[in-house]
Amino acid sequence: MVILPWLRARKKSKSRERSSSSDNAKMFRSLRLRFVLLASFAVVIVLTTTVGVITGVRYLQTNTNVKSILTALVENDGDTPSLSEASKTIGTAVTEETIYSYRYFSVTLDKDGEIVKTNSRSFASFTDDEISSFAQRINKSISKSGTIHDNSVYYSYQIKKSKTGTLIVVLDSTTYYSDAFELTWVAVQIALLCMLVFMFLISSMSRYVIAPFVRNYQRQRRFITNAGHELKTPLAIISANNELVELMNGESEWTKSTADQVNRLTGLINGLVALSRLEEQPDIVLTDLDFSDITEDAAEDFKGPVIRDGKTFTMTIEPDIHVKAEEKSLFELVTLLVDNANKYCDDKGHISVTLSQIGRRRKRAKLEISNSYAQGATVDYSRFFERFYREDESHNSKRKGYGIGLSTAQSIVRIFKGRIAASFKDGVFTITVII
């Protein structure tokens, strides 16, 4: 009968260890997944930018080349230019074969828009009637140059107007644009292949990348847990010896100071262990809770002590505001924030607790806890949520606390998938929580 309680305690301990191990495994899987997704997103951005630059440069080169050819034809009155003229206008090394490979036609119109001359020696795709119709269609356009896409064929044109009439030159630019599109398609395929290879490699190597983080996290957990247990024993002995000294010699300022420090250390250890355990359960079950009732219950407990200290206290809480959270942690969140406001409130100052609902499509709760703080203008609020951070860097502040309250509050808000921030304006310090 004496062994059974020990066996039950051992089974519970093993069950907690398995649960903690399962939670850690889930957390590290989630961390690996986020790492892979972020790394993949970065690679997608790089590859997309690279493909975009290649495509853009190639397209500009194609447009420039096509316009140069059209300019050379227009300057030669719609006829094939000589090798020297083509080289001068196009600006690249061209040959006789290159010049005579251009497929184009030109149409000359008089002032009345009637066709005077047609040159279609190197263009057999259109009949004379089709060329005339195409030329009239281009002549009616506003732009003096451009490209027309017609049945997978690209026709680039350029118009030159003069006092005697209009010259229209049309170049079959299908080959040029097809080469550009082919390069784009090849670049996209290579980018997709590179992305798949990278995702495979980073997925395979992610466990090695986060391994140092895992080791540090586990060491930190073990240190906090082991240190907490190791420190509790000497603290208990010091407390017992101090009580014994008080029984023998009576209470003195020394024994009272020792008892206060023992209580302070005990509270600090309990807070660290609680914070460590809180961060071990990211998969906590969130349920629908009445945030209005919980906030009112938690804040109401501070009303009496605040008023006794000569401060004023107000609550403005909209009714029936619901959030997805865990009841005990949500109550602790409000308690921590109101307690922090009470600690840092000025003498004869004011503390306010406000809960409202924000958002039109997605309704969210906004909790604001403010306190008057005349000296707050010089405080670095970006560090308020760091563990052990105290406004007084020497940690000799008369205010009670260990510097882990706001860090605990931040961990709770993260579990609830919310946001927390600190701000200061017009002598008032405010912590805002959105869930």
Per-residue model confidence (pLDDT) at position 228: 66
Using alpha carbons only, how large is the chain's radius of gyration in Å?
A: 39
Per-residue model confidence (pLDDT) at position 432: 92
The pTM of the full predicted model, rounded to 2 decimals, is 0.50
Per-residue model confidence (pLDDT) at position 3: 43
Per-residue model confidence (pLDDT) at position 244: 81
Query: Cα–Cα distance between 372 and 420 in angstroms, integer?
Result: 19
Domains along the chain with CATH numbers: 211-280 (1.10.287.130), 287-434 (3.30.565.10)
Burial class (CB in 10 A: 0-12, 13-18, 19+), 56: exposed
Helix (H/G/I), strand (E/B), else coil: 263: helix
Per-residue model confidence (pLDDT) at position 280: 55
Per-residue model confidence (pLDDT) at position 162: 83
* Cβ(367)–Cβ(335) below 8 Å: no
Tokens for 58, please give them. 């190639």
Q: Give, in order, the Cα–Cα distances in Å from 339 to each of 168, 175, 216.
A: 83, 75, 32
Strands (E), 51-135: 104-109, 115-119
Query: Cα–Cα distance between 64 and 70 in angstroms, integer?
Result: 10
Per-residue model confidence (pLDDT) at position 75: 86
27: enclosing H helix or E strand: helix 3-75
Query: Cα–Cα distance between 23 and 30 in angstroms, integer?
Result: 11
Query: Cα–Cα distance between 402 and 395 in angstroms, integer?
Result: 9
- Taking only the tens place, the pLDDT of each residue in 274-284 is 666 655 555 56
Per-residue model confidence (pLDDT) at position 250: 80
Residue 345 has phi, psi (to 5 degrees) of: -80, 140
pLDDT beneath 50: ranges in the chain: 1-7, 9, 12-17, 19, 393-402
How many Cβ atoms sit within 10 Å of the Cβ of residue 203? 15
What is the residue whose two structure tokens read 């024993």?
233
| SS3 of 143-196 | CCEEEEEECCEEEEEEEEECCCCEEEEEEECHHHHHHHHHHHHHHHHHHHHHHH
